[in-house]
Structures are given as structure tokens and as C-alpha cells.
Chain A
């Protein structure tokens, strides 16, 4: 009903979401600073970053809640500034705050969103029942939502974003504040959704991005500071390796010798941490043995996204 006679501006078949110098300023704060993203169709893309990095502001602009200060974005070719109602028809949004009508039951909540999206009562009913079964809320379908646990509300929140079977799904911090079990349940469900539709997910949990995302954009201070698959991001870290050795009887002599060979050597309470571009595992262990140290365990640490984040931004990702 809202075509306005405007056809999609650009239709790059490969991409579902594209941003062009997308910027939002609040007073003196540049919340989102000219980001350029190209999210492929069918991809699950995670925006990872600490609180206040600009992830939610980005999502809010993409789902036409906030007007960009400058720049724009397209969702399946529709411009968020010029065709907001076209965009709203094809997206599903699960906001960070769990927003549900507390005195309505899940069926009624789903019905509301479904009907607003133009589904007829029968379609809504069928889809609601499917979703409730998959999400494990089938038995609570007629209870008022205000009696639900946080995890159940979250699941309903996601279902409400899915009721009209949108091509694009925005999940803003889908597991925020949930216990590990509830998080796991939501992850499992999100995994099932992968591939069917394009999903943009924001999170400040590294393991969530690592587990779910096809590609990750690390956001900090309104900018996308690194972009790639989880492995790509970690490989970019491989220019520096860390080896951790637990041993008894580490002598000053062997510490001195290590320091002469490797860039960084730290020793505390029987733990030796060696960092350098290249590490020779065998050589290090042999050296320690021959110095009389008893090595209990030694390993080369796999870089985590946290390391990537620390490396890129100089700060740790707070959970």
C-alpha cells in the first residue's frame, strides 16, 4: 500500500543490507560514525562491540526508528530515508528491551504484530502455533505474558519479529541478561534460522558472535574497526603468538635466556608467558628442561575474539 511509485534505488543482488556512510550524531556524541557495511543475502552478520559502541543506534537507523544524521542505507534495495514504510514491511525486529504487551498472552501478542503486518487471522494462527512449538512455549500460549520468565519473554520477543516471515531479521542483543541455559536455547533456534533469511545480530558477547555469525563486524566508538569471519579475524591476530607454560623451579638464568630469544617473557608464580611473532614450542620446552625446570604443562594459546578486540581497540571487551 505504500509504494509511492518509487522503485528500489539500487538492486545489488548480492547484498541484503548496505550502508553508505551511515552516521548519527546525538548532541556532541557521534554514536555511529560513517559506517559502510555490505551484508550478503542469507548471511548472519554480527555486530560485536561493548555497550555504547553504536550497535543499537545502527540497528535503529536500519529499521527506520531513527533518522540518520547523514548517509543512508538500503534494505533489499529500499532506501531507509526515502522508503521507510517499504523497509518496515520486509523487516522483523527483536529489540534489545523485551517489549511485549504484558497483559496479553503470546498468541495475542503474535496476532497483534502479525495483523499489523497484514497477515490474515488464519495465517497468523498457523504461524503462531508453529513458532510457539519450535520455541517451546506451546503450553503457555494462553497465559498472560507478565507471568513469564526473562528467557520466555526473550523467545517471544524473537517470535514476534518472525511472525510475518520477514526476509530481513534484526536481533538486538537477543540473549542479553539470560542464564547460560536460556542463551543456549535461543542460540540453537537462531542457528535453525540461518540461511533462510538475512540476520543482523548485535551482541557484546564474543562467544555469541563466534558461535552464530557467518561474519563479524567489530564496532567501537561508532566505527566498524574490523570485519571478517571469526577465523579471519583470529588469523589477523596470528602475527603474535602466546605460549603459556606452568613449571616448577624456573631459574633466573633460564628467564634471562628466554628474554634474549623472545620479545616478551613474563614470569609469575611458576607461570611463564612468552609472546612473539614466532614461537618454537619444542625449543622452549627443551630449554626449560635442560635448565632443571619441571614443566607441568605448556600450550600455545589460540587467539580469541577478545584478543582480537583488545588488539584492535586497546581495551578489553566488557561483559
Chain B
């Protein structure tokens, strides 16, 4: 039970350190509060969306009438052609309209049979309000994704007209900010471990019968406990700030937990490669902040150029945000987030193995 004693000690060192606690818990909560104040509120959070079905196939009808209509924040109205829709968009009657092009049903059917085709949806929206467009694009993307089980490139046309709408952005951003909180675990994990190395505490304990595995499990267990506390607190706070939780809390928790494990693993790798806190900490922030941005912690990544999205999707956080958003605000189950979930499991396990290996090696002299 040596690891247990070490874990207890690590926990005490952390929760008695106001600065560390502030970073871990208060900092993300502050973000959440700011976003909540800025974009929260009790105004109706629905978007009037126009749909033009040029395909008239069974599939396109199913998509429009079932899938799109199912989205709680969409208020759908059907149009026969673009002229009326565009007029309504200009007058602010619509937030956006979606055009289902001819051949959509056939393309989707081909996709389902495993053929390589591009499925095109056309969406026209008001460019001037970024928050709206981001959300709508992201929601449409998720819907098409879960409908066609493929990534549907949405062609976007922008119309520069001003539309006044207030929405609860917090619904959309909540998961991102929770993931941001879990990204802060990277510098924290690295600091907890590298500090002991730097100050000689690790060497001191290496003169006791404690084994390398005791240290590793002592650190990991402590950090996992911190991650769990963080997730519970953030989820509660998100709920408090008005995020409507639709899907399974457990599944969302699991997704966040996997993201947290990845952060701990990355922290372990950084701690193994650095000699001092002064080295490890900036390195972590340098890594975590751009990653938070690319992964979509603060805004939707749908508007990023594709190469930046590719970089983000090599890391677990964009997947975790996507998956947790699906679960929390759209009620998607495991079947809807399967790929993202597997990716997260793979990442968490992989980085933990690498981190363990490197940290063990760095303990030897």
C-alpha cells in the first residue's frame, strides 16, 4: 500500500496549495462564468431554419422531416425555392436555410453501401453573426453525421445581412470549457511530478523500499482523483450556468474522463523530459493553449481551415468535445460517438503507456 501513502501525500500537497487549486478549478469555472454571462440568459434558444428539398427522394425527406426536425433548437419551415427563403433570411425571419441538392438521396445511399462519394448539403446563412453561424453549422454537421454516418461536407454561402437573434451559446460551449479545464491538467500533472524530481523528493524516496511502480501509481491515482473532482465540479457548474443536459451523464463523464487521462499522460511525458518546473510549465502551456483553441474549447472549429482541423483531430480533445457535445446537448448514445470514443480510449491508453515508460526511465540515474 505504499502507492496509497504516496497518493495521499500528493493529494495533500495539491489541495493545500491555493495556487494549484485555483488553476485547476477556479480558472475554468471563471471561463464558464464569463461565457455564461456573455451568452447565457433566458431568451429562446431556437433558430428558424428554412429547408429546400430539391431532391424529393425518400432519403432527403427522412433527413428533413425526421433528422433535422428532431433538433430541438431548430424551428423548421419548408420552402419550395430559394427566392422565398433568401427573402426571409434577409428580413431576419430565418437564421439560415439548407438546400438539399438533387441526387442527395442517391449519394447517401451509395455511402451507406460503402462507396466513395461526396455528399453535398448547401447552407446559406447570415455571416455577420458568427455565434449563430458557428452553432448552426456545427449542429447541421452533427445531424448529417449521425444520419449518414459519414462526414458531410457542407458548402456554405454567406449572405451579409444583419439578423438580430439571442441564443444560449452556453449550451454549445459548455463541453468545450469543461475540456479546457481538463487541458489544464497537463501543466498540473507535469508540475506535480517534476517538482518532486527537481526538489530531490523523488531521490529521497528512492532511498526507501518504494518501487518505481509505487511512485507512478501514487501520482496517477492522485491525478485521476483530481480529474474526477474537476469533471464533477465542471459538469455541475455547466448545469448551473444553464447547459441543458439531454443525454447520458455517465457517458459524458466517461468521455471527459478519457480526455482527463490523456492530459495526465501528456503531463507525465513532459515531466519525464524536463528537469525543472520552470522548464515543464511553459512547455505545457505552449502546448495546451493552442490545442485548446484548435480543439474548439472556446469556439466551434468548423470555421477553421481543414489543415488546422486535421492537426486538432490528431489529439483527443477535439474528439472529446465533439463526443461530449453530442451526448450532453443532443442526447447521442454510444452508437453515435463510437469512433470518437474509441479514439479517446486509444489515446488515453497509449499516452499512459508512453508516459509510464518515460517517467520510469527518467527516475533511473
Contacts and interface: CB of A to CB of B under 8 A. Distances in A.
A236 B207 CA distance: 37
A117 interface: yes
Nearest to B205: A116
B221 to A, nearest CB: 15
Nearest to B214: A116
Given A95-B200, A112-B5, A65 B365 contact: yes
B203 A99 contact: yes
Residue from A65, A91, A115 whose CB has the most chain B CB atoms within 10 Å: A115
B360 to A, nearest CB: 15
Nearest to A93: B207
Contacts of B206: 64-65
A113 interface: yes
Interface residues of A, number: 27
Contacts of A108: 9, 12
A99 B208 contact: no
Given A65-B206, A89-B209, A99 B9 contact: no
Most buried by B among A2, A103, A108, A116: A116
A104 B211 CA distance: 22
Nearest to A113: B208
Interface string A65-99: 11100000000000000000100110101010101
Interface string A54-69: 0000000001111100
A104 B12 contact: yes
Contacts, number: 64
Interface string A169-188: 00000000000000000000
Chain A CB within 10 Å, residue with most, of B5, B207, B210, B211 = B207
> How large, as a class, is the contact surface on chain B?
20 to 34
A231 interface: no
B201 interface: yes
Contacts of B9: 101, 104, 108, 112
Contacts of A64: 206-207
Interface in B340-364: none
B198 to A, nearest CB: 11
A111 B16 CA distance: 18
A117 B208 contact: yes
A282 to B, nearest CB: 57
Interface string A111-132: 1110111100000000000000
B20 to A, nearest CB: 10
A144 interface: yes
Given A103-B13, A104-B12, A144-B16, A65 B209 contact: no
A66 B5 contact: no
B2 interface: yes
A91 B204 CA distance: 12
A173 to B, nearest CB: 13
B199 interface: yes
B204 A95 contact: yes
Contacts of A117: 208-209
Contacts of A66: 365
Contacts of B207: 63-65, 88, 91, 93, 95
Given A108-B9, A108-B12, A99 B2 contact: no
B335 interface: no
Contacts of B365: 65-67
A306 B326 CA distance: 77
B16 A115 contact: no
Closest CB pairs A-B (n = 7)? A99-B204, A103-B16, A93-B207, A63-B207, A115-B5, A88-B209, A99-B200
17 contacts: A64-B206, A85-B211, A88-B207, A89-B209, A91-B207, A95-B204, A95-B207, A101-B201, A103-B13, A104-B9, A104-B13, A116-B2, A116-B6, A116-B205, A116-B214, A118-B209, A144-B16
Given A95-B204, A104-B13, A112-B6, 8 more contacts: A64-B206, A64-B207, A95-B200, A101-B12, A108-B12, A112-B5, A115-B1, A116-B214
